[in-house]
Structure 1
């Protein structure tokens, strides 16, 4: 099931683990109005087994690659011929990256919100999710949730309400195990992605560590990173996303892509310092240097002339408000089985105990399942999603 609003080029949003569109609206974390007003058609969907989308008790259905197949199946259903913009939070971040690796020509830009734990920091959360799944099967979801002790959340989402996980209890163990089996694509694979990427995350969230976001910004050829430290700054994410999606396409110099803000004649200089109107500590943007760019700059004998800016198309600046419900897409689980399904968000700081209140993958509690404290152990906390309920990391 999905919600469809706005008119213009298509952007698709994938939520975090254990969340849903309805849960995220109740959390009131993200404001999508700027994206609609910028002249974008925004489709937000419930991942299989979450919210209004049905699912099966099959672990493999909830891995990132399977969720990526579901996303590609949704694009097929929408009948999009051109490349689209994709936005994903936590588990949705993993979904979008895997989909972009599988079909890079289908995506024009990526926005990655709250990247979950990945690579070397992933295993503790995977263990916690597996333990949580066992607890839910033996004692029920209520016992698992009540057994978990209260853990501090990131300051930016401390006031966001705790909500029960979106997947129904019969599917919850499979969702948790599917997320436990998931990880972001290897850095060696991500370096081949050429589309512009915006990465937005917040500080002090073990389930969505800044280290993952920074590592992604380093390995993706055309990435921009912003770290928020206050709720007020998180409120600017909708406008930041709208600005990014409507920016002029990256220009090319020689064989190297140069995104707006990367520097060079006629281009604004990128800097780690706060931009105009941005308070110190509110966030930071980085335009990681790329070997190809450096090499191109060093070997360019006579500088090549700058290409003229492309004149952006005019788009309707006023779009309708998000409808409560959108059209019903063919059952995601079925569409996904035609391709392969997948979905899950998470983000955590290394070995710190995951904080509640993030979007995607929540980590199961040790108490509930004898898990490691370093793994997630709260209910799907506030945020786009959680791999294990109450503590978003995927």
Structure 2
């Protein structure tokens, strides 16, 4: 079966793929790691998320994979693929940021509010802020509860770890010649649409789908429709 790597969003962990994994596993070897500081993967003092991903593929003996990255996971995927483009046969980037694009004012304000709550020690309020702003209007209560659980777990792992030395690799879109599908949501922050526009102008073999119903996490908001977009 074709190996398929799924990298989760920065407000989630590998559990965000739970609605898609069973269907994808019928035709693919599905790999759903937790990045460091999420789910079951603790933070270490020095690391690279993209480096970890490439090391995981080495450990699994996988020369090539197709890959899907949501939000921050999509950014990690761009870094890894820029380092070893021949290793990735296809990419799907769901509401993903990229280099050289500035966040919009609304997103900057959200990050400031979150940081204020974290510094005050009010992690419950910071968690609810995530649930309020990072998932679209079509999400049901179960999806919101799952996001709440995943974000709370991330805070539990990341905040006690303090400052860490995390290396990002440069993203070079022009070298990513594999087919790439960019997906954006109309209810998401402008930063992610701007990132998709930047990538569309530079990726050699890309297509873009703008979802009028979606927020930032379409795989949680409409799981079946998101599955078809991935397939």
TM-score category of the 2 structures, normalised to the smaller one: 0.7 to 0.9
Q: Tell me how far apart the structure 2 counterparts of residues 116 and 171 of structure 1 sit (CA, whole Å).
A: 21
Q: Tell me how far apart the structure 1 counterparts of residues 10 and 33 of structure 2 sit (CA, whole Å).
A: 13
Q: Residues 197 and 122 (structure 1 numbering): CA distance in 2 closer, same or farther, change over 3 Å?
A: same
Cα drift, residue 32 of structure 1: 3.6
The reply to whether residue 17 of structure 1 matches residue 5 of structure 2 is no
Q: Tell me how far apart the structure 1 counterparts of residues 185 and 35 of structure 2 sit (CA, whole Å).
A: 23
Cα drift, residue 87 of structure 1: 1.1
The reply to whether residue 69 of structure 1 matches residue 51 of structure 2 is yes
Cα drift, residue 143 of structure 1: 5.2
Task: Work out whether residues 133 and 174 of structure 1, in 8 Å CA contact, stay in contact via their aligned partners in 2.
Answer: no
The reply to whether residue 49 of structure 1 matches residue 42 of structure 2 is no
Q: How does 1:121-132 map to 2 (within 5 A)?
A: 121-122=102-103, 125=107, 129=111, 132=114
The reply to whether residue 237 of structure 1 matches residue 226 of structure 2 is yes
* Deviation by residue 1:170-200 (Cα, 9 ceiling, x = unmatched): 5137689989x97983xxx211211111122
Q: Tell me how far apart the structure 1 counterparts of residues 164 and 110 of structure 2 sit (CA, whole Å).
A: 10
Q: Tell me how far apart the structure 2 counterparts of residues 175 and 223 of structure 1 sit (CA, whole Å).
A: 38
More displaced 10-residue stretch of structure 1: 212-221 or 99-108: 212-221
TM-score by length of 1: 0.47
Tell me how many residue pairs correspond in the alignment: 219
- The equivalent position to 2:85 in structure 1, one of 104, 115, 137, is 104
- The equivalent position to 1:86 in structure 2, one of 67, 88, 92, is 67
Give the aligned partner of residue 206 of structure 1: 189
**Unmatched tracts of structure 2, length 5 or more:** 215-220
Which structure's CA Rg is the greater one?
A: 1
* Deviation by residue 1:104-142 (Cα, 9 ceiling, x = unmatched): 121111111111376333375467546634642442423
* Deviation by residue 1:354-386 (Cα, 9 ceiling, x = unmatched): xxxxxxxxxxxxxxxxxxxxxxxxxxxxxxxxx
Q: Tell me how far apart the structure 2 counterparts of residues 67 and 148 of structure 1 sit (CA, whole Å).
A: 22
Q: How does 1:151-166 map to 2 (within 5 A)?
A: 154-157=136-139, 160-162=143-145, 163-164=148-149, 165=151, 166=153
Q: Tell me how far apart the structure 2 counterparts of residues 88 and 36 of structure 1 sit (CA, whole Å).
A: 17
Q: Residues 207 and 153 (structure 1 numbering): CA distance in 2 closer, same or farther, change over 3 Å?
A: farther
Task: Work out whether residues 116 and 207 of structure 1, in 8 Å CA contact, stay in contact via their aligned partners in 2.
Answer: no
Task: Work out whether residues 92 and 181 of structure 2, in 8 Å CA contact, stay in contact via their aligned partners in 1.
Answer: yes
Cα drift, residue 76 of structure 1: 1.1
Cα drift, residue 241 of structure 1: 2.2
**Unmatched tracts of structure 1, length 5 or more:** 1-7, 243-394
* Deviation by residue 1:332-356 (Cα, 9 ceiling, x = unmatched): xxxxxxxxxxxxxxxxxxxxxxxxx
Q: Tell me how far apart the structure 2 counterparts of residues 226 and 13 of structure 1 sit (CA, whole Å).
A: 19
Task: Work out whether residues 48 and 54 of structure 1, in 8 Å CA contact, stay in contact via their aligned partners in 2.
Answer: yes
